[in-house]
Amino acid sequence: MQAGFSFSIQSRQGKARAASYQTPHGLIETPAFVAVGTQASIKSLSPEQAKDAGTQVIFANTYHLYLRPGQDVVAKHGGVHKFMNWHAPVLTDSGGFQVFSLGASIEHGVGKIANIFPGEEGGILSSAAIRSKKGKSLVKIGEDEVRFRSHIDGSEHIFTPEKSISIQRQLGADIILAFDECTSPLHDKRYTKKSADRTHRWAKRCLDYSASHDPVHDYAQMLYGIVQGGAFQDVRTESAQVIASMPFDGIAIGGNLGNTLTDMYAILDWTIPELPDDKPRHLLGIGDIPSIFEAVERGVDTFDCVSPTRNARNGGLLKRFDDEGKTLDKFRINIRNAKFADDTRPIDEDCSCYTCKHYSRSYLRHLFKAGEQQAHSLATLHNLQFMADLMTEIRKSLHEGYFVDLKRDWLEREPAT
Amino acid sequence: MQAGFSFSIQSRQGKARAASYQTPHGLIETPAFVAVGTQASIKSLSPEQAKDAGTQVIFANTYHLYLRPGQDVVAKHGGVHKFMNWHAPVLTDSGGFQVFSLGASIEHGVGKIANIFPGEEGGILSSAAIRSKKGKSLVKIGEDEVRFRSHIDGSEHIFTPEKSISIQRQLGADIILAFDECTSPLHDKRYTKKSADRTHRWAKRCLDYSASHDPVHDYAQMLYGIVQGGAFQDVRTESAQVIASMPFDGIAIGGNLGNTLTDMYAILDWTIPELPDDKPRHLLGIGDIPSIFEAVERGVDTFDCVSPTRNARNGGLLKRFDDEGKTLDKFRINIRNAKFADDTRPIDEDCSCYTCKHYSRSYLRHLFKAGEQQAHSLATLHNLQFMADLMTEIRKSLHEGYFVDLKRDWLEREPAT
C-alpha cells in the first residue's frame, strides 16, 4: 500500500465487505459511490454542495482534462484537488475508455462504444482500427501506442501506457488507473483475448513507469490495474488472475460487462474470487441500484456512474417508493410530469437533502420547465444525497449483519395486482 | 407607510441619501442593488449563495411568473419567498415592461423594445397597437386593458391595472409596482404624453384596487407608482408631479430614459426634485457603475439590472482595475480570453467573494470553455459580490461624508498616454 493510504476491512457478510479507506485527501467509507466530475467539476454543484450531499470521492476523466485545460495547467495549480477546490479523494481513469469511445465517435455521429465497428488488423502502428461509419480511421491501436483524434477539434493525439500514467500523476488524483483497451460487446472472443493480453502488457508498463518515477505532487497515488476479458469466462478469469498477480494497489473491473445485468453478475462471479482480498476493488461505470446491491454482495467496494447526476439534469429524481408506498420503477420519478405542477410536497418527505428540506415538487418542475440552471443543481443534490444515503445504509447493514435482508427489501417487487 | 415597513434616512450628502429600509422579510440598507431573479430563481445560484454574496433584495418578474408557473401556484406555497426559499425582501414589477417588449417580440424576431414599432390608433379596445414586422398585432393597448400574447406558447392574455396588482398580491413580494405603459425611444412626444396620462389613470386604479382588498398573505406590501414621460422634460416633470401627489408607498422611475447616459442624468434631474423626500425611490433597469454613482448622487435609493448576472454568464467578470492598476473599460474582464489559460491568480486578489477565495482565473476559463454550469455560478457569485461591495462602499461614503470623492475616484479615467 502506498504511503498515506490504508484499506482496512471492518465488517463482512459473505463476500461483501465494508472498509475504511484512508487516502492523502481523506477517508472513504466503503462500499461507496463515486460521483462523476468529468471536467474537474461536478456538473451544476460547488464542491461544498456535493460534500454536503454526502459525496466522499469523485471521478475525473483523464482524456477530457488532457485535452482541456491540459495536465500542465492542473499541475501548476498543485493538482486537481486545488484546481477544482475539492479537498477530498479523487479518482482518475486512464483515458482509455474515452479514447476508444468518445474519441472515435462523438463528432462523427457513430454514438458510443456499442456503435463502433470492431477493429480490423493492419498497419505498422495499429493492430486494430476502429473506424467511423464513413470509413475514416479515428483510433489506431498499436502495441506501443494508441493514436486518436480529439472530439473537440479533431486534432491527432497519442496515448501510451506511460503517457497515461504521466498525465494522471500530473493531475494528481489519489487513485489512478492503468491504461487499458476497453473492448465492446461487438468484439469477438479472439479479439477480446488478444486485447486483454495487450492490456496486461500495458499494465506492466504502467507499473514500471510508476516505480521508476518520483511523485509529481507531495503525496503518493494508488495505482489500480484493470481486469478486462469481456463476457468470455476463460478470458475474464485469466485477466483477473494476471492483474491480481501484479503489484497493483487496487483492482478495477472494466470493459464489456455483457448485455444484461445477469451477464454482469456472472462476470463478477468469475472475476472477484481471483482477486486479492486485501486490495480495494472498483467497478467501472456502474451505478444502478440493483447492480450496486448485487456487486456489493459479490465483494465490490466502490462504484462510479454518470447516471445519478445525468438523470438529475433530465428531471429524473431518485426515489424508492411512489406516493402509495410502492417501489418505483427504476427508483425514480420524472419531475417534469404535469402532475407535479402544484404539488407543494418535497420530492421525498423522508429525504435529508437540501432540496427536499427547502423546495417543493412544484418549484422543481417550474425550474425545469422554465429552463433555470437551479433545476440541475437542486436535482443533482437530491440524487447525490440519495446515493450517499443508500451507501450509508448498505455500510450499516454490513456492520450490523443485515445486508442480505436490506438487499431483499430494496429489490423485491410487489407482485402485480 | 405600510405595516411592517419603515424607511429611515440615516445620512445625506447633497441630494444623495443612505437609508435603512425595513420590510416584513428583512432590512435593505440603501443605496442598494437589487439582483434579478426573473423566474423566481437567481440564475445559477441557490438563495444561500446569493445571500452570502451580499445580495439583500431580489427582483422577480410578474409577466414570467403569471405565465409560468402561475400566481395561484406561487400563492399556494405561501408566496414567492417560500416558493423559491428566499427569505429576504423581494420586489416584483407590474408585468407592463414585458407585455410591451417581450410579449410583442421574442417569438416574432423583432427583438426588444427599441425594435418595436410605435403604436397606431384604432379599435375599441386599443388606443395603440404594437405590431410585429410581419404586421400581426401582438399587443393591443386600451384604456381598460392590454391584450398580449405569451412568448412561450402564443396564447392570448389580458392584463388590467387591477389584474397586475391582484397577481402581484398573490405572488406576495414586499414591494410591488403599479401597472404602467413603458414607452420606447421611438414614440413621439404626443404619444408619450398620451401614454403617461393613461399610466396616471392606471396608477389610480392600482391604488383603488389595493385599498379595497385585504392582503392575500399575512403581511403588507409596498405599492410603488411609476414615473413615465420618456425623454421629454415637460411630460416627465408632469408625470413626476402626478405620481408624487398620489398615496403611493414609494416611487419608481421607469420607461424610456433616453438614448445616452447624459439623457438619463437629465431625466433624473427633472424627476427627483418633484418626488417626496420621505419615500423610497427605485430606478428601473439600470445597473452600470457610472449610472449608479450619478443616480445615487441625484437621490435614487435602489437599482435593478440583469447586467451583472447576465454578463457573468457570458464570462464578463466585474473588476475595477486591470493587473497594472488601470481602471478597466466597463469595469470588467472577459474570463474566456486565452491569456487566462494558465493564470493561477484569482479574478481579484482583494475580492472577498467565494469565487476569488477558492478559484483561479485559469479554472474559471476552463469551466467556460468546457461548458460547465459552475462557470455561471462562480461568475455570478463574483459579480453579485462586486455589486454588493460597491453599494456597501457607497453607503459608507454617505455615512462618512466622502461620497463625492468616492465617485470621482471610481469614474475619473487616467489620461491617455
Please give chain B's pLDDT, 417 residues, in tens: 899 999 999 999 999 999 999 999 999 999 999 999 999 999 999 999 999 999 999 999 999 999 999 999 999 999 999 999 999 999 999 999 988 876 444 434 443 333 333 333 322 222 333 444 444 557 889 999 999 989 889 899 999 999 999 999 999 999 999 999 998 888 899 999 999 999 999 999 999 999 999 999 999 999 999 999 999 999 999 999 999 999 999 999 999 999 999 999 999 999 999 999 999 999 999 999 999 999 999 999 999 999 999 999 999 999 999 999 999 999 999 999 999 999 999 999 999 999 999 999 999 999 999 999 999 999 999 999 999 999 999 999 999 999 999 999 999 876 555
Residue A107 binned pLDDT confidence (cut-offs 50, 70, 90): very low
What integer is the mean pLDDT of A84-112? 75
Residues A334 and A195 in one domain: no
- Cβ–Cβ contact A43 with B under 8 A: yes
Residues B166 and B69 in one domain: yes
Q: Would residue B415 count as lying in a domain?
A: no
- For residue A78, pLDDT over 60 is answered with yes
Q: Would residue A58 count as lying in a domain?
A: yes
- For residue A123, pLDDT over 90 is answered with no
Mutate to test the interface with B, among A46, A66, A67, A170 (most CBs of B within 10 A): A46
- Cβ–Cβ contact B339 with A under 8 A: no
Of A41, A72, A344, the CB nearest to B76: A344
Helices B361-369, B373-400: inter-axial angle, 10-degree rounding: 130
By three-state DSSP, how is residue A177 classified? Answer: strand
Closest CA to B305 of B289, B288, B290, B285: B285
- For residue A94, pLDDT over 80 is answered with yes
Span A11-67, pLDDT tens digits: 999 999 999 999 999 999 999 999 999 999 999 999 999 999 999 999 999 999 999
Are the beta carbons of A359 and B69 separated by less than 8 Å?
no
Task: Please give, rounded to a whole number of angstroms, the shortest distance from the CA of A234 to a CA of chain B.
Answer: 42
Place of cell 420607461: B255
The answer to whether A181 and A228 have CB atoms below 8 angstroms apart is yes
Q: What global pTM score does this model have?
A: 0.93
- The residue from A305, A329, A358 where one domain ends is A305
Does the CA dihedral B336-B341-B346-B348 come out positive or negative?
negative
Are the beta carbons of B68 and A366 separated by less than 8 Å?
yes
Active site residues of B: 93, 304
Q: Rg (Cα) of chain B, in Å, rounded?
A: 21
Q: Which residues of B touch A335 (CB under 8 A)?
A: none
Backbone φ and ψ of B320, nearest 5°: -80, -45
Amino acid at A155: S
Residues B346 and B283 in one domain: no
Strand pairing of B146-149 and B156-159? antiparallel
Does the CA dihedral B181-B183-B187-B189 come out positive or negative?
positive
Span A186-233, pLDDT tens digits: 889 999 999 999 999 999 999 999 999 999 999 999 999 999 999 999
C-alpha cell at A309: 447526476
Residues A178 and A325 in one domain: no
- Cβ–Cβ contact A44 with B under 8 A: yes
Give the pLDDT confidence score for residue B123 in this predicted structure: 23
Mutate to test the interface with A, among B84, B150, B366 (most CBs of A within 10 A): B366
Are the beta carbons of A77 and B41 separated by less than 8 Å?
no
- The residue from A305, A336, A365 where one domain ends is A305
Are the beta carbons of B377 and A344 separated by less than 8 Å?
no
Amino acid at B241: Q
Helices B373-400, B403-411: inter-axial angle, 10-degree rounding: 140
Q: Give the whole-angstrom CA distance, residue B390 versus residue B289.
A: 9
Are the beta carbons of B342 and A73 separated by less than 8 Å?
yes
Which chain B residue has the Cα nearest residue A345? B77
Q: Which residues of A touch B344 (CB under 8 A)?
A: 76-77
- Cβ–Cβ contact A341 with B under 8 A: yes
Residues B200 and B152 in one domain: yes
ipTM of the complex, rounded to two decimals: 0.93
Q: How many domains does chain B have?
A: 2
- Cβ–Cβ contact A157 with B under 8 A: no
- The residue from B282, B305, B328 where one domain ends is B305
Closest CA to B91 of B132, B36, B30: B36
Residues A155 and A271 in one domain: yes
Q: What is the domain extent for residue B356?
A: 311-409
Q: Give the whole-angstrom CA distance, residue B271 versus residue B404.
A: 21
Span A277-323, pLDDT tens digits: 999 999 999 999 999 999 999 999 999 999 999 999 999 999 999 99
Candidate from A124-133, A357-366, B150-159, B402-411 with smallest mean pLDDT: A124-133
Residues A276 and A347 in one domain: no
Mutate to test the interface with B, among A366, A376, A380 (most CBs of B within 10 A): A366
Which chain A residue has the Cα nearest residue B69? A366
Span A379-417, pLDDT tens digits: 999 999 999 999 999 999 999 999 999 999 999 876 555
Residues B199 and B129 in one domain: yes
